Structure 1
């Protein structure tokens, strides 16, 4: 049966930033170290609130259907940063020229053009609208942030987050200003990992800047609890999350997290209290559960130890502690999500499927958040190569999800931290077995 999806043409850009579609060459995608045509089931019209990037120092590559050859253009490659809730299943195809600068910390989805619209290689994995702001007037965010600063002038954490909302357009901070969805609770200045793609701290040798500034003070438990309380006043289904892009590792501040949550719960605080973590400190899991935590999200680029450690570069812990944290969190009664930093051609291979499936099956983790790995694909290529893991054949995002779910039938997929009722997502069935 013929597909009803169009065949998108190559999109490229001139040096002035003008974007064109090629009349003859088809769109190509990159999966790991392989080039190929997009699969019909992964083509999605460019979602609202996505952005197009031209890639400096990188030639656009297209496929000539007449000759069956890959053609290199003199013009620049173009990629899409797809709006949150979508997972990239194919990276844009390009050839890096000598001296090409390192790309900033974004995900670079393959993009083409057909029938009057742009298409990307991505799949929507979460219908949640928490990072969609197209219908929100900017003055609402400004008024909300200023109200918080006026109401709590001595709360440094609210001042920090209001600044993030007003000057850095942080989606989490903007939602706090609006009093909706999930509130961010950054606390930690330090981190016990040196992730290659760290959003909040990079040294000059990396070749790219961090996209967010790390918090410069340690808030008190009272300041944190105050943020939690004010957010729950306005949001009837509040999610309150430690572990944000503007901080280090929150579990290094476990006593602070526990005390703030105890204060919040003692005052009648409701909702889902969550921590986003690298999972480095399994010994603090029970303390957080006893303080009133509901969920834990553990980030990993891979469930394979060599690749995990090559990217994360842990300081004073290893992948074994991460796996232990996942298991102990479930045993303690927390809802456990894996923040799986997805990159096609690495994440959707047989070896990764086996490793991730074994971790989930053994721990009974509840949820996989299919977040995109925000990193220059060639920088990640170096990480993959240095790890000794190497690339594998890409089975595709949809097939990867289907097979993982078949092995772990209780498993759910998404992109955002869920709001929980009695320890479960509303409408979710109990775990099998």
Structure 2
């Protein structure tokens, strides 16, 4: 059996002696099965989910909820646990929990739906990718699968003891560069890997340029309407100028410590839609290429501004990643809530 896990007020982790681990898909609670779990990947983060009631699964009686359990300090309040996976892994289930004042009927069999009351309230969680977790043979397992090679994104290469020193040294070399100051914040406060790569001078380095966006994505990680849920990071509040952007790009692509394919990547979590700054990006590429020919210019984009994408491509863009959550127009618009474009515009940008 894959046992349910939970945490106490002090952050100590426990596994339940008789209840199986339970995850959630949509509004359905499902027990974790051996066929859908892997050992906890290196570099994962275990997080408590406060103000929520942990879900477990009884093989005979079905769904059960646990808000009180025996801990090191006796019987006390306990909370569900989730896992933040490193890059390269795809989750199958969300952590199982309910609102503290919900009334959920425990029913036998799989696929029990979550019921909630209208009076339930709890503080929203930050927008992270929470994954269901359990304990099997004294080892933590997660409902996930490795779907991509993640060597360059392995957490052991980031947040190293010398990171602060590297950030300070780079800022001292270019103290008036607002982009570097933004990337320093992203590196140290948000642990952004592409921001940190600018200071490690390797691999894919982020270069944020756009404070504006042409979408209002439900899962935006840098700006939420009325802060309905906490944004994991803040969006840049300025428009970079050409000189400061070129200094960042040129240094990164020409660095002796970069590998054969150093990357400057537009479209980071701390910015809006980069193609809205097409004129600036085109100039950055052109000016940087006068100094260095190696490396790759990449853009992460929603693809909605086709004219902007075309201008950037003509300037020498090497690669692009288009964000498309669904090819069904209704679902696409429901998530992205695009401003001034539709799915057809994205298709034209890809062409």
Common fold by TM > 0.5: yes
Instruction: Please give the secondary structure, in 2, of the residue aligned with 1:276.
Output: strand
Q: Is the 8 A contact 1:58 1:77 kept in 2?
A: yes
Q: Secondary structure at the match of 1:60?
A: strand
Tell me which of 144, 149, 155 is aligned to 2:166.
144
Rounded Cα–Cα distance in structure 2 between residues aligned with 1:303 and 1:116: 42
Secondary structure at the aligned position of 1:260 is classed as helix
Q: 2:17 aligns with which of 23, 27, 30?
A: 23
Q: CA deviation at 1:205?
A: 5.5
Instruction: Quote the offset at 1:137 in angstroms.
Output: 7.0
Q: Does residue 1:246 correspond to 2:240, yes or no?
A: no
Which one of the candidate residues 139, 144, 158 is aligned to 2:180?
158
Q: Is the 8 A contact 2:24 2:93 kept in 1?
A: yes
Question: Normalising by structure 1, what TM-score?
Answer: 0.70
- 2:105 matched to which residue of 1? none
Q: Contact 1:215–1:246 (CA<8 Å) still a contact in 2?
A: yes
Give the distance between the partners of 2:63 and 2:188, measured in 1 at CA.
45
Given that 2:2 and 2:21 are in contact with CA atoms closer than 8 Å, whether structure 1 keeps it comes out as: yes
Distance 1:173 1:285 in 2: 23
Unaligned runs of 5+ in 1: 1-6, 329-433
Question: Could you tell me which residue of structure 2 aligns to residue 84 of structure 1?
Answer: 87
Distance 2:123 2:326 in 1: 26
Q: Does 1:296 align with 2:320?
A: yes
Question: What's the offset of the Cα at 1:115?
Answer: 1.2
Q: Against the structure 1 CA distance between its residues 301 and 137, is the aligned structure 2 distance closer, same or farther, given a 3 Å change threshold? A: closer
1:267/1:135 CA distance change after superposition, 3 Å: closer
| Selected match of 1:130 from 145, 148, 152 | 152
Equivalent residue for 2:251?
A: 230
8 A Cα contact 1:31 1:91, kept in partner: yes
**Aligned pairs, number:** 319
Deviations 1:356-411 (A, max 9, x none): xxxxxxxxxxxxxxxxxxxxxxxxxxxxxxxxxxxxxxxxxxxxxxxxxxxxxxxx
Any stretches of 5+ residues in structure 2 without a counterpart?
68-77, 101-119
Distance 2:345 2:129 in 1: 28
Question: CA offsets, 1:21-73, max 9 Å, x none?
Answer: 111111122122222233433211111221122222322121112x1421121
* Aligned equivalents of 2:283, 2:272: Cα separation in 1: 19
Does residue 1:58 correspond to 2:61, yes or no?
Answer: no
2:240 to 205, 219, 224: 219
Deviation at 1:136, TM superposition (A): 5.6
Give the distance between the partners of 1:300 and 1:210, measured in 2 at CA: 21
Shift of residue 123, structure 1, vs aligned partner? 1.2
SS in 1 for 2:339: coil
Question: How is 1:260-409 mapped onto 2 (pairs within 5 angstroms)?
Answer: 260-326=284-350, 328=351
How far apart in 2 are the matches of 1:204 and 1:315?
A: 18
Superimposed CA distance per residue, residues 285-310 of structure 1 (whole angstroms, 9 cap, x where no aligned partner): 33222211111111132222222211
**Is residue 140–residue 178 contact of structure 1 (8 Å, CA) maintained in 2?**
no
TM-superposed deviation, 1:101: 2.2
Q: Which has the larger radius of gyration?
A: 2
1:113 matched to 2:107: no
Q: Give TM-score scaled by structure 2 length.
A: 0.85
Matched residue of 1:138: which SS? coil
